[in-house]
Amino acid sequence: MKLNPIRLSFACAIFSILLPLDVLGDLWPTLAKPATTEKLPDSAGWIQRWLLLEPIPASGLTDSAVQAEVKKDYFPNQFTLVPRDGDKVTVDGAELTWHALDTKLYNLNLYRFAQSYGKPTSDVLFWAVTVIHCPREFQNVRLAIGSNAASVWWVNGQEVIGIYGDRQTVIDDGVSKRLTLKKGANIVRAAIVNGGGATDFCARFLDPQDKPLTDLNISLSEGRQ
């Protein structure tokens, strides 16, 4: 029997949406569950391990609209929480789950993340958290980020940078002022707002000479494992 290619493609698309990410490893090979407790940045300094919350409905990409969205109280301890993989929060009556993920690329594909769990990808807000462990204090470093579309970023509870509008992810599109990473655990938090279509983000730290900072250890816990 000859299969109709259009029907086959449609069936495969529906099947992929219904499967969890663990099953989709071969289909979305850039995303994976962490296999180790800690992870180094890659040679270009990219942070490739994150905790992601399933998307929250949101709209607007202007400075004021994004700032209003990220400052809403969605769940308890929103700006201090370091969740664990599988933790759940309730937002406007909907139960959402945190997922620990590694990306094999410089960026993390939020579109594929949301799609693989059957979640919306347009007019949504993603929360992302990671923990950077430093062997010593690093002064005068900068957080360099890119996102599709708008995003706001915090380091150790302080808002350090935001980029706005309907934009593509560009390496080092936004760079914070000079800051200090303390010895031990440093919490990086981001809120990415997408209007429609593809969505992803990338982040790394730059040293005082604007070179990638790689002497870091990325974990998903404030305590070393």
pLDDT (tens digit per residue) in 68-81: 999 999 999 999 99
The per-residue pLDDT of the chain, averaged, comes to: 89
pLDDT for position 223: 65
Q: What is the tens place of the pLDDT at every residue in 176-199?
A: 999 999 999 999 999 999 999 999
Q: Is the peptide bond before 35 cis (omega within 30 degrees of 0)?
A: no
pTM of this structure: 0.87
Is pLDDT at 97 greater than 60 in this prediction? yes
Closest CA to 165 of 203, 125, 194: 194
Residue 102 lies inside a defined structural domain of this protein: yes
Which two structure tokens, joined as six digits, stand for 26?
């071969």
Residue 141 lies inside a defined structural domain of this protein: yes
Q: What is the tens place of the pLDDT at every residue in 13-43?
A: 444 444 454 544 444 679 999 999 999 999 9
How far is 164 from 77, CA to CA, in rounded Å? Answer: 25
How far is 223 from 218, CA to CA, in rounded Å? Answer: 11
Domain of 175 in residue numbering reads as: 5-219
Residue 108 lies inside a defined structural domain of this protein: yes
Is pLDDT at 7 greater than 50 in this prediction? no
Residues 214/161, Cβ–Cβ less than 8 Å? no
pLDDT for position 18: 46
Closest CA to 31 of 212, 203, 200, 215: 200
Residue 80 lies inside a defined structural domain of this protein: yes
Residues 46/64, Cβ–Cβ less than 8 Å? no
Q: Please state the rounded mean pLDDT for residues 49-63.
A: 97
Give the up-direction half-sphere exposure of residue 105: CA atoms within 13 A in the CB hemisphere: 12
CATH assignment at residue 161: 2.60.120
Per DSSP, the three-state class of 16 is helix
210 Cβ contact list (under 8 Å, min separation 6) = 142
How far is 113 from 55, CA to CA, in rounded Å? Answer: 10
Residue 225 lies inside a defined structural domain of this protein: no
Residue 173 lies inside a defined structural domain of this protein: yes
Residue 224 lies inside a defined structural domain of this protein: no
Residue 124 lies inside a defined structural domain of this protein: yes
Percent of the residues in the chain that have a pLDDT greater than 90, as a whole number: 84
116 Cβ contact list (under 8 Å, min separation 6) = 16, 17, 19, 20, 21, 24, 28, 31
pLDDT for position 28: 65
State which H helix or E strand residue 193 sits in: strand 184-194
* Number of domains within the chain: 1
